[in-house]
Amino acid sequence: MPDDPLISIVDDHESAREAAAGLVRSFGFAAATFGTAAGFLASGDLARTACLVADVRMPGMSGPELHALLVATGTPIPTVLVTGYADHAVRDRALKAGVRCYLTKPLDPEDLLACIRSCIAGGAGRSG
Report the mean per-residue pLDDT for the chain.
92
Structure confidence at residue 122 as a pLDDT band (50, 70, 90) = confident
Domain of residue 108, residue span: 6-122
Domain count, the chain: 1
Q: What pLDDT digit, counting tens, does each position of 50-62 carry? A: 999 999 999 999 9
* The residue count for the chain: 128
Percentage of the residues of the chain whose pLDDT score is greater than 70? 93
Structure confidence at residue 3 as a pLDDT band (50, 70, 90) = low
For residue 127, pLDDT over 60 is answered with no
In this structure, is residue 1 part of a structural domain? Answer: no
Structure confidence at residue 2 as a pLDDT band (50, 70, 90) = very low
In this structure, is residue 127 part of a structural domain? Answer: no
- Cα separation, 71 vs 97, in Å, equals 9
In this structure, is residue 128 part of a structural domain? Answer: no
In this structure, is residue 30 part of a structural domain? Answer: yes
Alpha helices per DSSP H over the chain: 14-26, 37-42, 63-72, 88-96, 109-121
Q: What is the end-to-end Cα distance of the chain in Å, rounded?
A: 27
User: CATH number of the domain that 47 lies in?
Assistant: 3.40.50.2300
Q: What pLDDT digit, counting tens, does each position of 4-52 carry? A: 799 999 999 999 999 999 999 999 999 999 999 999 999 999 999 999 9
Q: What is the pLDDT of residue 86?
A: 86
Residues whose CB is less than 8 angstroms from the CB of residue 110 and which lie 6 or more positions away in sequence, other chains included: none
